[in-house]
Amino acid sequence: MSNLIFSRLVQGIIVIIGITFIVFMAMFLTGDPAALMLGEGASQAQIAEFRHRMGFDRPLLVQYGSFLARAAVGDFGMSLHFNQPNLQLVLERLPATIQLASISLLIGTTLAIPLGVMAAVHRNSWLDTLLMGVALVGQATPGFWLGIMLILVFAVNLGWFPASGRGTIAHLVLPALTLAVFPLASNVRLMRSSTLEVLHQDFVKTARAKGLKENIVLFKHVLRNALSPVLTMVGIQIGSFMGGAVITETIYSWPGVGRLVVQAIMTKDFPLVQTVVAFLALVFVAVNLLIDIAYTLVDPRVRY
């Protein structure tokens, strides 16, 4: 197991370096970053002074090495727009994103597992057809459209929930539902296919031949072995929740990391964009490492 964790750590470090390098270089592909940050009204002297102050006049690899060295000790620089440390801004917005992502993930996982098992057990029945049809619609529905529709129906017309902001549980309902629909639908379909595959395994037939009750066969033998693909998907979804909540947080004015990165892009605050991307990459790698460890608990064969 220690070898598995070590290999995943090495892979994670490579992923983080690769992502930060791509984002860092992309800043220069759009043109002169100093001119873009200062805007059209800046003079050539101001651009030259700003370029020197930010270190943009040094070789790219030297700049990137300096960025990594400072990031390794938690120094991600200052935000040009907010005039605050970039890492502090991300950490201030992080609790809102974690709250929204955790509730959405809870909805998308806890409901998907029993629904997927039900669909597999009642394969080709009306229940299976209904669940798969609803899941297909859920996967095909764009998140921005769903968010706008929920606001129009439940916030504007019915007035049941607030349309924006964060504060009470009522503020959380609509954005959490908007963010949870797609992972719920995909997890239901994945859980169904995984359960169907396990149901045809020999050990399940043996358990039934021993006279075990169907509920015991499902929960003790089938469910545990069918969860591995879903765990993989959940690990990916956590990372996508942290970064993919951009649209949802923007629609509902949710003060999280996703909305922060949109504000940074709109204000051409490239150092803040780099910080958010690096932080999200770190979270994604850490979550997937935990998922790999959880594999060994669900399926001990992974240890070998």
Task: Please give the C-alpha separations between residue 204 and each of 77, 93, 121, 200, 216, in angstroms, as whole numbers.
Answer: 57, 47, 13, 7, 11
Q: Are 243 and 258 in contact (CB under 8 A)?
A: yes
Which pair of tokens denotes residue 15?
Answer: 């992923």
Which pair of tokens denotes residue 58?
Answer: 């040094």
Q: ∠ CA(197), CA(202), CA(206), 5° rounding?
A: 125
Task: Please give the C-alpha separations between residue 157 and each of 154, 167, 177, 253, in angstroms, as whole numbers.
Answer: 6, 21, 18, 19
pLDDT for 110: 84
Q: Rounded to an integer, what distance in angstroms lies between the CA atom of residue 182 and that of residue 167?
A: 25
**Residue type for position 70:** R
* Chain segment 114-172, per-residue pLDDT in tens: 888 888 878 888 888 888 888 888 888 888 888 889 999 898 888 888 888 787 888 88
pLDDT for 298: 58
Number of Cβ atoms within 10 Å of the Cβ of 9: 13
Q: Rounded to an integer, what distance in angstroms lies between the CA atom of residue 212 and that of residue 218?
A: 10
pLDDT for 2: 67
Give Cβ neighbours of residue 4 (< 8 Å, ≥ 6 apart). Answer: 292, 296, 302, 303
- For the chain, residues with pLDDT lower than 50 are 304
pLDDT for 117: 81
Q: Rounded to an integer, what distance in angstroms lies between the CA atom of residue 184 and that of residue 303?
A: 29
Q: Rounded to an integer, what distance in angstroms lies between the CA atom of residue 61 and that of residue 51?
A: 16
Q: Are 175 and 256 in contact (CB under 8 A)?
A: no
Domains in the chain: ranges and CATH: 2-72 (no CATH), 86-303 (1.10.3720.10)
**Residue type for position 265:** I
pTM of this structure: 0.74
